[in-house]
Amino acid sequence: MVSFKLVDRGLGFISTLVLARLLVPADFGLVAMAMILIGALQLLISFSFDVPLIQNPNAGRDQFDTAWTFNALFATVCGVALAALAIPAAHFYREPRLEAVIYLLAVGFALQGFSNIGPVIFRREMRFDREFKFLLGKRMASLCVTIPLAFYLRNYWALVIGQLAGTVVSVLLSYMVSDYRPSFSLKAKVELFHSSKWLMINNIVHFLNGRSAEFILGRLSGPQALGVYTISSEISTLPTTELVAPINRAAFPGYAKAATDIAQLGKSFLNVISMIALFALPAGIGIVSIADLMIPVVLGDKWLEAIPLIQILAICGVIQAVQTNIGYVYMAVGSPKLITLIAGLQLLVLLALLIPGIYYGAAIGAAWAFLACAVIMIPVNQILVARRLDLSGTDFILKILRPLIASLAMSAVIWILKTNLGVPETALAHLWMLVACVAAGAAVYAFSIYGLWVLASRPEGAERISFLQIEHGLRKLGIRISLVGS
């Protein structure tokens, strides 16, 4: 599933880069204003009904049909509410173009609620290959519409129409990939609401944690500043969050099955953290190291102000990536309330830092506030999960230590390379330096992580799994080499 998801998110990343080349920051900022409003309304229907459906192996048609009925009803009501808020939102942001954008997105909002609930079964039964086909189909639908429209229109309508097209296709695909056919029913309404009430509250707090800065920036600084911040956040955290997301999705059903065996759950958790660190740390630290070369090459000079934002937010993304799996443990053991309490504490810390940060530093201030909050929450998260799983204080650190050392070595080599090569004066020189730094960084990380793993006597875990996969791939090419040993 991880490999499949990398393809999906790789396409999304390439799409973002192409669109950033064709459009201006204000186009992204305008759509982001609408998405903030959509995200706020989605909180009213964010019961995460899929979680109890996955957790409960006895969930049947009554539960699935009730979940689908709630999704359809709530989405329709919120779609109408979104359309009603179009004019007030345009006045609030002092952006008249926003009204028409919201009207069109409201249609997609309502339609999304009628998606088939059947694909949830893929996750419960760990049939990730079928889920991948579903997700990839949605991605390709949006991409195939948005990019051609961006070449033709060269404005924000390409983003809006592309998103609506993706929604339409995703709803159709949800019925094509699954044989399940839902019907209107409310037989399990009490059961589902009882299971999901804390998840809804957690989603609200999570939304406020993630979107507060965008809401304030959009109001105070306009679509240009918001567009730069939005793309900076997406690019800086995409390599980490999107590498981590499929690992988390694959791990949760396993956690749910091991929820009654704390020792096994703790072992599974540490193995997942090891896998996350192996990929997320070099991705995030690599973004920090090459941002000054990457932005002029892939986005162009109109996005240069995004460089420091990307570097700060990438560090924040790394910290969050290696801790994001903790919430899945709490969900698996039936403690969603704890997730909400931790997120609420994080929100208080963030707002205390965010308000003065934006006031004095605008977008840069917001980025520093997010980073400071992430650092402050590290000991809180680690102490609580260690107590819940009976882990020692060093268990978590040891699982990320080798990837962290290898990533820092990679960053040091990239810095030395950039220092010796000097400042590139042409676009072609920028490109070649970027390629050289990426290649050198990847090589250094690969050799460093392998060397550290060998020095540690080749323990079980993420490195062994990864090197076995590399061996298997090389054998298919006729190359026989032993990386793991006997």
Mean pLDDT calculated for residue range 317-331: 87
Contacts 24+ apart (CB under 8 A), 424-430: 424/293, 427/296, 427/297, 430/293, 430/296, 430/297
Vertex 85, ends 81 and 89: CA angle to 5°?
A: 150
DSSP letters along 80-92, please? HHHHHTHHHHHHH
pLDDT given at position 310: 93
Greater model confidence, 5 or 131? 131
Structure tokens at 82: 């979104």
Greater model confidence, 103 or 66? 103
Greatest alpha-carbon span in the chain: 69
Q: Describe the crossing of helices 306-321 and 189-257 by its angle, rounded to 10 degrees.
A: 80
pLDDT given at position 216: 79
Instruction: Give this prediction's pTM.
Output: 0.74
pLDDT given at position 6: 57
Answer yes or no: is pLDDT of 191 > 70.
no
From the list 200, 185, 175, the residue with the least C-alpha distance to 111 is 175
Percent with pLDDT over 90 in the chain: 23
pLDDT given at position 221: 75
pLDDT given at position 411: 96
pLDDT given at position 376: 95
* Cα(59)–Cα(458) distance, integer angstroms: 42
Q: What is the 3-state secondary structure (H, E, C) of 378-420?
A: HHHHHHHHHHHHCCCCCHHHHHHHHHHHHHHHHHHHHHHHHHH
pLDDT bucket at 56, cuts 50 / 70 / 90: low
* Cα(225)–Cα(29) distance, integer angstroms: 7
Answer yes or no: is pLDDT of 2 > 70.
no
Greater model confidence, 241 or 479? 479
Mean pLDDT calculated for residue range 322-330: 86
pLDDT given at position 309: 93
Answer yes or no: is pLDDT of 132 > 80.
no
Residue with tokens 């759950």: 265
Cβ distance 471 to 483 under 8 Å? yes
* Cα(337)–Cα(360) distance, integer angstroms: 35
pLDDT bucket at 124, cuts 50 / 70 / 90: low
391 CB neighbour count, 10 Å cutoff: 17
Greater model confidence, 31 or 426? 31
pLDDT tens profile 151-174: 888 888 998 998 888 888 888 888
* Cα(173)–Cα(212) distance, integer angstroms: 33
3-class DSSP state for residue 59?
Answer: coil
Greater model confidence, 87 or 49? 87
Answer yes or no: is pLDDT of 474 > 60.
yes
Answer yes or no: is pLDDT of 54 > 60.
yes
Mean pLDDT calculated for residue range 115-122: 77
Answer yes or no: is pLDDT of 190 > 70.
no
Q: What is the mean pLDDT of the chain?
A: 83
Structure tokens at 419: 């220092």
pLDDT bucket at 118, cuts 50 / 70 / 90: confident
Greater model confidence, 470 or 84? 84
pLDDT given at position 185: 80
Greater model confidence, 393 or 392? 392
Residue type, 428: L
pLDDT given at position 477: 79
Answer yes or no: is pLDDT of 50 > 70.
no
Task: For the chain, give the number of residues.
Answer: 486
pLDDT bucket at 486, cuts 50 / 70 / 90: low
Structure-derived torsion over alpha carbons of residues 196, 108, 243, 257, reported in degrees to the nearest 10: 30
pLDDT bucket at 230, cuts 50 / 70 / 90: confident
Percent with pLDDT over 70 in the chain: 86
pLDDT given at position 312: 95
415 CB neighbour count, 10 Å cutoff: 12
pLDDT given at position 107: 93
412 CB neighbour count, 10 Å cutoff: 13
